[in-house]
Structure 1
Amino acid sequence: MNKTALSVLALVLVAVLPAPSLAQSVQLAPVVAEPVQETVHLDGVIEAVQQSTISAQTSGTVVALPVDVDDSVAAGDLIVRLDDTEQRARLSQARASVEEAVSGLQDAQQQFDRVEAIYERRLVSRQEFDRALNSLNAAQARVERARAAVDEAREQLDYTRITAPYGGIVTERHVEIGEAVNPGQPLISGLSLEQLRVVVDLPQQYADMARKQRQATVTLSDGRVLQTGDMTFYPYASLDTHTFRLRLQLNEPNGTLFPGMLVKVEVPVASRDSLWIPASALVRRSELRAVFVMNDQDQPRLRQIRTGVSHGDRLEVLSGLGEGEQVVSNPATLVGSEQLALPGDQSGEE
C-alpha cells in the first residue's frame, strides 16, 4: 500500500474510533517467530468397535424373538429361541447310553477281578487275563465316549437359546418366528455403544507426514473437541480411492455419540516457521489490513501487513513485519493521541 492510502486509513481511524480516556495507555507486544502446523480437514465417521452378526449353531425352528430392531439389550439377554425338541431327545438318548456304558463297565470290571484272582493262582492262561483286561479298557472307553456324547448333546441344547454376547443395540433381524434355520445362518446383528472409534480416509500425499506426527483432532458439528486415544494406520491404500484409512479410538462415549455420525478430523501434514502477533493488534478497514508499529523514535506508525491463519488470540503474519518488532496490541487508544505518527510524518519510517 502507498503512503496516501495509509494516510487515508489513519484519518478514517481518527474519525471513526472513539477518543481514548486518560486512563488508557498503549500496550506493546513483540512479533514472535514460532513454527505453525499446516493441517488438512477431512470428514470422518463414527463407528462401533464391537459390531457383529450372531449365527445359528444348531438346527431348529425359531419359536421366540424377544427383541426387535433398535431395541437395547444387556449382555446375556435372550434374543432368539429355537425349538429344542430334537436336542432334548438327543440328550436323553446320550444319557441312556451313559447308563448302558457304565453298566457294561461294571460287568467288565467284575469279570476282570475274577480272572485276575484266578490268574494269580496260575489257574488260567495269560491269554485269558489279557482278554479280560482288554474288555475292561474297552468298557472304560465306551463310558468316556458316552459321556462326551452327553456333553455334546447338552451343548446343542444350549445352542437353542441364543443370548447377547455384549450389551448394545439390535441393528438387524435376519429371521422371523416359524423359520427353520441351520448352523451358520445369520440370526441377529447388533453393535455396542460402549466402545466407539472414528474412521477417516487420508489422501496418500499426506500419509507419510501423518504417520510420523501421529496426531489428529476430532471435532463435532457443534465445535466440541473429542478426546481420542490410540491411532491406527492401515498399511495399504484403497484400490478405488487411493487413500489410506486412519482409525482413532474415542475415549469419551457419553451417550451423545452414535455410529454413523459425521465428524471433522484435523490432521497435521506439514510444519513451517511463521511470525505471530496478537489478533487485537490488527486494524481492519474494508480490504486494508494494517498494524501500528513502533518506529525508531518510539512512535507508533501504521503499516500494512498480509495475514495468514488465526490460532486462538494470535494472528499469523505472512509479510510486512519482522521478528522482534513491537506492535500496538490496543490500537484504539492511539486515536487522537499525540503519539500517533501518520505515514506522512517526516520523523517516522519511510
Structure 2
Amino acid sequence: MTSEVETPPTDSAPTTGARPTKTALHTLGVISLVVLAGLAGLVVTGVRARSAAVETLARSAQDGAALRVSVVHPMLAGDQEDLVLPANIQAYAETPIYARTHGYLKRWYFDIGSHVGKGDLLAEIETPEVDQQLAQARADLKSLQANLELARTTADRWNGLLARHAVSKQETDQAVSDFSAKQAAVDASMANVRRLEELQGYEKVYAPFEGVITARQTDVGALIDAGSSPRELFHLATTRKLRVFVAVPEVSAGSVRNGAPVKLTSDQFPNKTFQGVLVRNSNSIDPASRTLNVEVDIDNSAGELLPGSYAFVHLRVPGSTKAWEIPSSALLFRAEGLRVAVVRGAQAELVPISIGRDFGARVEVNSGLRPDDEVILSPSDSLVTGTPVQIAKAARK
C-alpha cells in the first residue's frame, strides 16, 4: 500500500485574500497626495479668478459712475494778445436806385451780379405823359414869347411918344408894365420847359458809381412811379473795397489805434488770412452794449469776400503778465456768480473766479485759479462740487 505525501505550498503561488505589500501602499499614498494637491490648486485658481473678476467689475462700476472730462491748465497771459471778435462785412458804398419820372420800363441792360462802371446806362423808361407835357409847354412858351415881343415893341413906342410929349405918362407906364408881366410869364414858362426836359432826361437811368448790381426789382413793362413811395429799380454796391464793422469791448477800447494793421479770417476760407487797416472808430462807447464801434477797411480786388458775410477780426492788444488765460468754454454762469470747475482729488470742485478782458475764444482770469489747476472744458450745467470725475484727455496749453 503506497502512502501519499502532501507537498507544502510554495511562495510563488498567490493566496486569495492576501494583504498588500508596503511598496503598494506607498505608491497609493503618493498618487493620493498628487490628486489632492491638484484639486487644491484648482480651488485656489478658481478663487483667485473670481476675486480678480470681482475687482474688475468693481473698478468698471466705479469708472462708469465717474464723469469723464477733458481738462486744460491755465496759461500765463503774454505781452501781446490776439483779440478775436465777430464782425460784419459791408460794401464800401451801396445805394438803391430809383426812377425820377413816371412811365413804363422800356428796357433794362444789367442783371444781378453784373459789374457796371460809373455812368453806364442801366435802364430806359417810356414817359408818354411827360413827352406830351413838354410839347405843350414848349408851345405855350412860343406863344408867350410872341406876346412878349409885341409888348416890348409897344413899350418902346410909348416911350418914344412920351419923349415928344405925345402921350401921357400913365399910358406909357401901363405899356411898360404889360411888357414886364409878359417877360415874367415867359420866364416862368421857360422854367417849366426846363423842368419837363429834366424829367424827360430821367428816362435813362445811369449808374452813379462803379460797382456790382446786387438786386433788380423791376422788369420790362413795369409801371414806374416816382411819387412819395417810389419802387426801387436796382441796388448797386461797391465791392472792390469793403468796410468791416466790429464792436470792441470797453475793457479793450483803449488799445484801439487808427491806422493799425488788422487781420481778418472767415469760415468760408478757413486757411486764409486777409489784411486790413483800422481806419476809424466812433470815439464813444455805446451805452447799450458797452462797446466801441470800429471800422476796418479790406482790399477785395480779387472779389473773394462778399458783402453781408460774417467774419472774425484779430486785434493785437497789450497783455497782462499777472493774469491767466483759459478757454471761454470753461466758464460756468451760476446764480451765485461766475465759476469754473477744476479736478481736485478725483472730484469736481466749482471755484469762483474774476475775469478781466474777453478775447472771444479765451478770457483773462485775474483771480481764483492756480497754475497747476486742471480746469474742466465744457462742463455740464448740472455739474456740482463733489461730482466724481475721471480725466479723459488733457488739452494742450
AA in 2 matched with 1:194? R
CA deviation after TM superposition for structure 1 residue 125, in Å: 1.5
Tell me the alpha carbon deviations over residues 208-252 of structure 1, each in whole angstroms, 9 at most, x when there is no partner.
Answer: x2446774512334343413252222745274x554432112356
Q: Tell me, what secondary structure is at the counterpart of 2:214?
A: strand
State whether structure 2 residue 206 is matched by structure 1 residue 163. Answer: yes
Structure 1 residue ranges (4+ consecutive) displaced by more than 6 angstroms after TM superposition: none
Alignment deviations for residues 279-320 of structure 1 (CA, whole Å, 9 cap, x no partner): xxxxxxxxxxxxxxxxxxxxxxxxxxxxxxxxxxxxxxxx9x
Superposed counterparts of 1:164-243, under 5 Å: 164-183=207-226, 184-207=230-253, 209-211=254-256, 215=260, 217-220=262-265, 221-228=270-277, 230-233=279-282, 235=284, 237=286, 239=288, 241-243=289-291
Contact 2:258 2:280 in 1 (8 A): no
Cα distance in 2 for residues equivalent to 1:155 and 1:94:
13
Task: Give the conservation status (yes or no) of the 8 Å contact 1:226–1:252.
Answer: no
Say whether residues 1:93 and 2:142 are aligned partners: no
Partner residue in 2 for 1:302: none
**Structure 2 match to 1:264:** 312
Distance, in Å, in 1 between the alignment partners of 2:215 and 2:117 is 16
Offset of residue 121 of structure 1: 1.1
Q: 1:234 to 1:95 in 2, by over 3 A?
A: farther
- Say whether residues 1:79 and 2:128 are aligned partners: no
1:169 Cα deviation (Å)?
1.2
Match of 1:68 in 2: 111
Instruction: Classify 1:150/1:52 alpha carbon distance in 2 versus 1 (closer, same or farther; 3 Å).
Output: same
Counterpart of 1:224 in structure 2: which amino acid?
T
Q: Which amino acid aligns with 1:81?
A: E
Normalising by structure 2, we get a TM-score of: 0.55
Deviation string 1:177-231 (CA, Å, 9 cap, x unpaired) is 2221211321111201233221112233333x24467745123343434132522
Q: Is the 8 A contact 1:196 1:253 kept in 2?
A: no
Change (3 A) 1:89 1:235: farther
Q: Distance in 2 between matches of 1:103 and 1:252?
A: 61
1:128 aligns with 2:171: yes
What letter corresponds to residue 62 of structure 1 in structure 2?
Answer: L
TM-score by length of 1: 0.61
| CA RMSD between the two structures | 2.6
Residue 59 in 1 paired to residue 107 in 2?
no
Q: Any conservation in 1 of the 2:117–2:211 contact (CA below 8 Å)?
A: yes
Evaluate the alpha carbon distance shift between residue 143 and residue 201 of structure 1 in structure 2; reply closer, same or farther with a 3 A threshold: same
1:145-160 matches, within 5 Å, as 145-160=188-203
Q: Is the 8 A contact 1:63 1:81 kept in 2?
A: yes
Q: Does 1:115 align with 2:158?
A: yes
Identity of aligned residues (%): 25
CA change 1:225–1:61 in 2 (3 A) is: closer
Retained in 1: the 8 A contact 2:278–2:296?
yes
Q: SS where residue 43 of structure 1 aligns?
A: strand
Counterpart residue number, 2:182: 139
Is the CA contact 1:216–1:266 (under 8 Å) kept in the aligned structure 2? Answer: no
Q: 1:248 to 1:129 in 2, by over 3 A?
A: same
- The separation in 1 between residues aligned to 2:174 and 2:88, in whole angstroms, is 72
**Contact 1:202/1:243 (CA < 8 Å) preserved in 2?**
yes
Structure number with higher relative contact order (C-alpha < 8 Å, ≥ 6 residues apart):
1
Would you say the 8 A contact 2:264–2:311 is kept in 1? yes
- Count matched residues: 239
CA contact (8 A) 1:218 1:263 kept: no
- Distance, in Å, in 1 between the alignment partners of 2:187 and 2:277 is 53
The alignment partner of 2:157 has SS state of helix
Q: Is the 8 A contact 1:210 1:267 kept in 2?
A: no
Deviates more, 1:93-102 or 1:258-267: 258-267
